[in-house]
Structure 1
Amino acid sequence: MKILFAVSRPLEINTSASIRNRATIEGLLSLGHDVDLITTEFDQNHPNYDQSLSNSNLSVRYLKLGGIQDIAKFGRKFKAIQPLKNITYMVMKYFEIYDNLKGMANYATKDQIDITDSKYDLIISSSDPKSSHLFISRMFERGLVSNTPWIQIWGDPFLSDITRNNKLLNSKIKKEEKRLFKFANKIIYVSKLTLNEQKKIYPNYAIKMDYAPIPYVKKEIYPNSDINKGILTFLYCGDYSSKIRNIKPLYDAINNSRHKLIICGLSDISLESTDRIKVYPRVSFEKTKEFEKDCDVLVHLSNTMGTQIPGKIYQYSGTNKLILFILDGPKEILLKTFNKYNRYIFADNNKNEIFGKVVRIENKEFENTKFVVGNFSPENIANKIININDK
């Protein structure tokens, strides 16, 4: 099939959504589909710019945005105006329901873009950001396309997004979320928990809704690490805002052990590096893979609330490393979702429980869990997405 894949944030900006989108696209390409990516122009001065996330085999059209994006780029280049940029973003959060890449929707006109029903067999838009869906919805509203099947992939829901702080815009967001659903043939969520919740909130669109998990980017089979060496290295790569994830029990458990922990990600809390623990900001995808290769145990940290599941668990599932799955939030549903794979070492998110599982890892009790979960391969997930559209 000839597929148009739309996402408003370029793949070169290192986020969990970019990694998910890259894996999905590569799965489609591996299945023999022809994929065109349309996105916005990347900024090499962006703090999360990561060239390793691009795909040289992919046909990409980059759209140049003005307005707030020009201010943002100027601010990254000249740090003196950074405070002004921050104030602008804070003000926007109280009035604007979309992200600052929503200007992509302005290109959805016949003068700006050459897209018709005869050009593509399928359109896929993927959040986050939500403006990815806004762009395609404008194409339908303005008559550029009318019959081409459209699949929406939602990393986070709109109204129920736990990262959104301003609740004053709830009614406006709910109305907009329903409007986005109107032209979609299928609405896919990457969490079954989110799918079930969305069906309750929007029963009139439940028939369009389905589930497809996140694919890992690449299968990685590492040489078996020697647990008998005495000191293990644990790795947590991901952001850990205190409003969403509680990393302190893990930090304290490892800090009071003989083992080591590497943490890399953004947060609103400050963790100190110690003799046992090294704390880094968000690092490049390639650096993450280096850490991954050298560690003994990968750590997944669940959200403290909401229905979303951090995408890192799927990336880890593409390796043969031990995975410590720290449970938080809706624990019973998480166990039901992931326990069937016999792949993960589960621990409640408290220091004693985590320390107890560390001791059992030392004793080599979980060596039979070190395998790749093939269900999450890019090809399997891409095929599932395509087949969902045929239902």
Structure 2
Amino acid sequence: MKILYVASRPLEINTSASIRNRATIEGLIENGNDVTLLTTEPDNNHSSYDSSMLPERLKVHYLKTGGVQSIAKGLRGKRTFIEIRKKLYKIWDYFNVYDNLKGIVGYAGRLKLDMKEFDVIISSSDPKSSHLFVYEWLRRNRDIFVRWIQIWGDPFLNDISRRQAWMKKRIKKEERKLLDGAEKVIYVSPLTLDMQKHIYKKCADKMTWYPIPYLRKEGSVKDSGRLEGKRVKLAYCGDFSSHIRNIRPLYDYAMSHDVELTICGISDLCLENAANIQVLPRMSQDRVQEIESKADILVHISNRSGTQIPGKIYQYSGTDKPVLFILDGEKEKLFHYFSKYNRFVFAENTCEDIQRAVDVIIKHDSDGVIYNSVPDFDPAKIAESILK
């Protein structure tokens, strides 16, 4: 099958969405599909640029973008850029429904790709402009039939990263328009699926959900007693904006216990390094793999609110390392869904319960939990489900 995969942010910009897209694309290729990626031209000077994120055997069609992205690209690398970028993006985000990669939509009428070549178009957020591009492209080519499958990393109206209440009516109208145009709509959280079916009842029959595929399956030397009597190393690799995730209990736990903790990601918090705590910015995928490979316990922190599930838990599910699953927000629903895999050790987001859960892992006293990769999150399996 010939597939056009549309993601307006380049895979080379290392984000959780890029990791999800890469894993999905690799699953599609593994199943024998011919995949072409349509995306925007990456900026090699971007702080999150990582050339290793691009899969082999993938055809890529790059588009140039204009507007605020062009301004940002020209300023990147200059000392004053960081503050100017923050102001530009803040202004854009406040007044615009879509992201700053919306410029990709301008190419819908002059794209040098023949839609008839493809059996399926898959658009994947985030950013949401990925869906808008395909909507406009199909609108201009109504005489050609091609299946359109949408994958939503985050919902539009109820994306917890957006806080402009006055824009909700406009956003809901745009979200409904996009959903109406798709043949199949996929979410990556069962909680989000339930919410979206309730809000957009007319589209409910075309909605489903699949978990995020892990990027790679990784193993390590197993020894059930290997953590007792040693200084345990924990790793949290993911962004942790304070209004989305609460990392303080984990940080405070490490400050008061004889463990090592590595934190790696973007945040508005200024956490200080300590003798046993290393705080790093977002790193390349290779560096993240190195950090995670040296850790004894991988840590996942749930969102404070909303139905979205951080993608890191699925990436950790491709390993055979212990995973500390810190519950927050929709705790009961998250526990109900993830506990069925008998893969994770759960803790409330408090210092005391984190300590209890870490002790359980150290003593290998986690009843019924098996530290193996989760078959349901295999890329080829999920890619097959997407195309059904």
Give the match for residue 46 of structure 1: 46
Partner of 1:195: 193
Report the AA paired with residue 205 of structure 1. Answer: C
Instruction: Give the C-alpha shift of residue 114 in structure 1.
Output: 2.4
Q: Match for residue 152 of structure 2?
A: 154
The offset of 1:365, in angstroms, is: 1.4
Cα distance, 1:228 vs structure 2: 2.9
Which residue is equivalent to 1:90?
90
Q: Which residue of 1 aligns with 2:255?
A: 255
Q: Distance in 2 between matches of 1:240 and 1:124?
A: 29
Match of 1:378 in 2: 379
- The match for 2:339 is 339
Q: 1:186 is matched with which residue?
A: 184
Q: Secondary structure of 1:91's match?
A: helix
Deviation at 1:83, TM superposition (A): 3.1
1:173 equivalent in structure 2: 171
Deviations 1:268-295 (A, max 9, x none): 1111111111111111111111011111
Match of 1:281 in 2: 281
Alignment CA distance shift 1:350-1:145 (3 Å)? farther
Corresponding residue SS for 1:266: coil
TM-score (norm 2): 0.97
The correspondence of residues 1-391 of structure 1 with structure 2, limited to 5 A, is 1-109=1-109, 111-116=110-115, 118-143=116-141, 146-224=144-222, 226-366=226-366, 368-387=369-388
Q: 1:342 to 1:146 in 2, by over 3 A?
A: same
Indicate if the aligned counterparts of 1:115 and 1:145 stay in contact, CA closer than 8 A: no
Aligned partner letter, 2:353: E
Equivalent AA in structure 1 for residue 31 of structure 2? L
State the SS of the aligned residue for 2:135. helix
Opposite residue 88 of structure 1, the aligned amino acid is L
Task: Give the partner amino acid of 1:92.
Answer: W
- CA contact 1:139–1:145 (8 Å) conserved in 2: no
Q: 2 CA distance for matches of 1:145 and 1:192? A: 35
Aligned partners of 1:234 and 1:87: how far apart in 2? Answer: 35
The alpha-carbon deviation at position 349 of structure 1 amounts to 0.5
| Cα drift, residue 78 of structure 1 | 2.4
3-state DSSP class of the match of 1:227? coil
1:168 positional shift: 1.1
User: Closer, same or farther in 2 for the Cα pair 1:251/1:86, shift >3 Å?
Assistant: closer
**AA of the residue aligned to 2:194:** N
Deviation sequence 1:68-118 (CA, Å, 0-9, x none): 111010111323344333322222222211111111111111x333232x3
- What are the superposed Cα offsets for residues 348-386 of structure 1, whole Å, 9 maximum, x if unpaired? 101101111112222121395211101101001101111
Instruction: Give me the whole-angstrom Cα distance separating, in 1, the residues matched to 2:295 and 2:138.
Output: 48
Superposed displacement of residue 144, structure 1: 6.2
Secondary structure, counterpart of 2:263 in structure 1: strand
CA deviation digits over 1:160-186, x for unaligned, max 9? 000002111110000000111122000
Cα distance in 1 for partners of 2:88, 2:267 equals 21
Return the alpha-carbon distance in structure 1 between the equivalents of residues 317 and 308 of structure 2.
17
CA distance in 2, matches of 1:42, 1:328: 35
User: Any idea what the Cα deviations from partners look like across 1:281-318, whole Å, max 9, x if unmatched?
Assistant: 11111111101111100000000100000000000000
Mark the runs of 5 or more structure 1 residues left unpaired by the alignment. none
Q: 5+ residue gaps in structure 2?
A: none
Over 4 Å off, 4+ runs: none
Letter in 1 for 2:107: Y
Q: Hey, what's the Cα distance between the residues in 2 that align with 1:160 and 1:188?
A: 16
- Which amino acid in the other structure matches residue 282 of structure 1? R
The CA deviation at 1:61 is 0.5
| Cα distance change, pair 145–380 in 1 and its aligned pair in 2 (3 A) | farther
Q: Deviations over 1:33-71 (max 9, x none)?
A: 000100000001101001110123100001011221110
CA distance in 2, matches of 1:84, 1:252: 34
- Displacement after TM superposition at 1:229 (Å): 4.2
The aligned length equals: 385
Indicate conservation of the 8 Å contact 1:265/1:282, yes or no: yes
Secondary structure at the aligned position of 1:35 is classed as: strand
CA contact (8 A) 2:345 2:369 kept: no
Summarize the Cα distance change of 1:42–1:342 in structure 2 as closer, same or farther, 3 Å threshold: same
> Conserved in 2, the CA contact under 8 Å of 1:327 and 1:334?
yes
Amino acid across the alignment from 2:323: I
**Structure-2 separation of matches of 1:134 and 1:158:** 12
Distance in 1 (CA, whole Å) between partners of 2:337 and 2:170 is 33
Q: TM-score, normalised by structure 1?
A: 0.96
